[in-house]
Amino acid sequence: MSRAESKPPEPSIRPAVSSDIPGLLALEHNYSTDHVWQMGYHPLGEEVNIAFREVRLPRPMRVIYPRSQESLADEWTQAAILLVAPLGFVMGMPFPSGLRRVGQGPFPAPPFYWGLNGVLSVVGSVVTVLLAVTWGFRLAALLGAACYLLAAASSSALERRAASE
């Protein structure tokens, strides 16, 4: 097969990474079209038939992306911060709160809990993947949330116990 007849490379689908952002921002997000898709909704007794058909427009239409390209990266960063920061704050509080109470009475010293945190972080990530693959992400997320609630409750119990002594 000659070079002119060679097939284009197969596209590969992979998760996006941060180094993709400059290339995505450089894409032209606006386009022109002279066709649209029209959706037909047809109830047939207990069934519903939905069909799409291509319809030609009387003249080409310019579709403009609703956001400026310059603001996209800022909006993505802001959205990521708004989604991650509250969760990070709430999930990060039980460990330091409980760590303040240890090393007193029958509890081991703080280095023990740092080591336990490291071991359980590794084991927990492996177990989470296995749970998500086996029973689904929803169950894995619910069990993770239950573990964090248990840690928060344990911290509160330790605080009440320390206050009463």
Q: How many domains does the chain have?
A: 1
pLDDT > 70 fraction of the chain, expressed in percent and rounded = 93
Domain that holds residue 131: 93-164
Output the CA torsion sign for 28, 29, 32, 38: positive
Within-domain flag for 65:
no
What pLDDT, in 10s, does the model give residues 127-141? 999 999 999 989 999
**Per the domain annotation, does 129 fall within a domain?**
yes
Residue 161, burial from CB neighbour count under 10 angstroms (0-12, 13-18, 19+): exposed
Average pLDDT over residues 34-53: 92
The residue type of 160 is: R
> In terms of pLDDT, which residue wins out, 72 or 112?
112
Task: Examine residue 107 and state whether it is found in any structural domain, yes or no.
Answer: yes
Q: What is the mean pLDDT of residues 55-83?
A: 84
Tell me, what's the pLDDT at 2?
56
Which 3 state secondary structure label does DSSP give 147? helix
Q: Is the pLDDT of residue 74 over 90?
A: no
Q: And the tokens for 48?
A: 């519903």
